[in-house]
Amino acid sequence: MADRLIAEPGPTRLGVLNAGISSNRLLNSTWNPNALTRLDRDVLTATGVCSVIVMLGINDIGGQPQHHEPSKIIAALGQIAAQVKAKGLRVTAGTLTPFGGSGNYTDELEGVRQAVNDFIRDGGVFDAVADFDVALRDPTMPSRLRAEYDSGDHLHPKDAGYQAMAAVVALDKLDTRPPGHWVGTWQTAMARTTPGTDRGMPNHSIRNVVHTSVGGDTARVRLSNALGTAPVLMGRATLAVAARPDAPHAVAGTMRELTFGGTPSVTIPAGGEALSDPISMTVPADGDLLVTVYTPAPSGPVTEHPRSYQTSFVAADGDHAADEEGTAFTQPTTAWRYVTAVDVRSSSAHGTVVTFGDSITDGDRSTISGNLRWPDVLADRLAAEPGPTKLGVVNSGISGNRILNSSTGTGIGGPNAFARLSRDMLTTSGARTVIMLEGVNDILNLPHPDPEALKLALRQIAAQAHAQGLRIVVGTITPMKGWRSYTEEREAVRQAVNEFIRTSVDFDAVIDFDAVVRDPADPQRINPSYDSGDHLHPSDAGYRAMAEAIDLGTLR
């Protein structure tokens, strides 16, 4: 196909990248990760990507375990299409090629392949279809490859077959982007699995309370099983406007049921995410939403963001996802579970600022359910600016997070910054600018932190952000004297990293958070008027000072 594109007349040229993995599947991870688990890393963050061709499903049908019901394969292909389009890319689907005569073939499994191909051709989900099945099948026996295209194992084509496949791809469908502009209004980063949920939370309804930055007239929700070890069934999911920021009650008439490829339920594979269909809904700016999921069956450990600094709610007695009254939600929780993002479409919102960091971005020690984290205050400042251009602000902070090592299995800090970069920064809807504040946990917890390793890591993160066309603004690391693991050696590392941040040419701008919140009389400490009391995390006033120090002009 790359050769065909090169031979086309005119100046337009497209690179072609191959993200295929032999034996790969949609629904299960075997000795390689399932398709939804690797979508962000292998597809959505490819440099210059504008179009995706997906051909997957034959190993789900013929491999072990075999899937005798086409609906789950169809739903997974629909999710890939939704997530590709959410990134503003075109998606072409290839029909599944014949496998009659191979070791795993049965007439029943052939029926599954035909059902999946009917969906690909006629489902209206994809921007284009490459009918590889028609190109390769034997006209006299359509369940088999044509002899001249068969490599000999009756499953894989030989060179002539691959040539025939490339010939049926419509090149004119690859270089135009579909319409539609989405921005993130809220986001969180998944950090661990909920302790004691080895079988999931069967027959539970989980009502997450989330705070918006910008409003819109259409919404969609992203659910995550990123850290789970087994598929999880979302039996029902809903979105509503919250009556109060600290209660499980919905504003009357605002409850909306979410669908996924037109169906009210979705199974999310281990390590994957699911994106809902768009729904018409008036989403308030600087308001609160209820994202509720019902998990009817046992699954595996529950993916969560443990320190939300927001009260959400759980009902342990069945499906209450669509209840406007929240009386069934009797168990408060400080974790957000399964929900990882809410996007809106709006004529006034034109992009998203991603705030990426640790507990100081997460909002540790801020007022519970008060939405006074520094990213919240930044969103308020942007909303108050005159003129039509508005930017959503989303929060990808994780308390305890580090740049250089992970604590997913042993603590709350989650995957290291590099491991979560694609999911929590680079693929955020509408992302234009990143503000990064990270490194203090590496300095305070590594036995002998190395400033050079942290500098190199910050350079690498900036390079990956720039590769996606994002601006990156980096904050200096705030004071930590008085914290339990403070030493003069660690302070020297902080000073060295901050000097690098202030003087580096790797970043588009710098916010000197250190200068904003430090005590003039003792610069290694937080100013007492900004100290929450633990000598590491700012108070509400400190978070406000940080947000007010940001030059809004650097974000556009």
Task: State residue 406's pLDDT score.
Answer: 84
Task: State residue 388's pLDDT score.
Answer: 66
Q: Which ranges of 8-143 would DSSP assign to H, the alpha helix? A: 35-39, 58-62, 70-86, 107-122, 132-136
Task: State residue 407's pLDDT score.
Answer: 72
Cα gap 18→224, rounded to integer Å: 26
Q: Which of 398, 424, 358, 338 is nearest to 44 (CA)?
A: 424
Q: Which of 233, 235, 225 is nearest to 301 (CA)?
A: 225
Task: State residue 409's pLDDT score.
Answer: 56
The CA–CA distances, whole Å, from 300 to 276, 317, 338, 354, 486 equal 22, 19, 12, 30, 38
Instruction: For CA atoms 278, 283, 286, 288, give the dihedral sign.
Output: negative
pTM (predicted TM-score): 0.91
Query: What digits encode the pLDDT tens for the residues 435-462?
Result: 999 999 999 999 999 999 999 999 999 9
Query: What digits encode the pLDDT tens for the residues 40-60?
Result: 999 999 998 999 999 999 999
CA angle 542, 544, 550 (to 5 degrees): 110
Go through 298-330 and write b for each residue having 16 or more CB atoms within 10 A of its CB, e for each that does not: ebbbbbbbbbbbbebbbbeeebbbbbeebebbe
Query: What digits encode the pLDDT tens for the residues 83-117?
Result: 999 988 999 999 999 999 999 999 999 999 999 99
Query: What percentage of the chain exceeds 90 in pLDDT?
Result: 92
Task: State residue 348's pLDDT score.
Answer: 80
Token pair in block for residue 119? 């969906």
Instruction: For CA atoms 357, 358, 362, 364, give the dihedral sign.
Output: negative
Task: State residue 556's pLDDT score.
Answer: 78
Query: What digits encode the pLDDT tens for the residues 138-155?
Result: 999 999 999 999 999 999
Task: State residue 102's pLDDT score.
Answer: 95
Instruction: For CA atoms 210, 215, 220, 226, give the dihedral sign.
Output: negative
Go through 152-182 and write b for each residue having 16 or more CB atoms within 10 A of its CB, e for each that does not: eebbbbeeebbebbbebbeeebbeeeeeeeb
Task: State residue 223's pLDDT score.
Answer: 98
- The conformation of residue 139, written as its DSSP 8-state character, comes to T
| Residues shown for the chain | 556
CA angle 327, 332, 334 (to 5 degrees): 145
Task: State residue 351's pLDDT score.
Answer: 93
Task: State residue 462's pLDDT score.
Answer: 98
Q: How many CA atoms lie within 13 A of 185 on its CB side?
A: 30
Q: Which pLDDT band holds residue 386 (cuts at 50, 70, 90)?
A: confident
| Beta pairing, strands 336-337 & 331-333 | unpaired
Helix or strand or coil: residue 47? coil
Query: What digits encode the pLDDT tens for the residues 401-440?
Result: 999 988 755 578 999 999 999 999 999 999 999 999 999 9
Task: State residue 56's pLDDT score.
Answer: 98
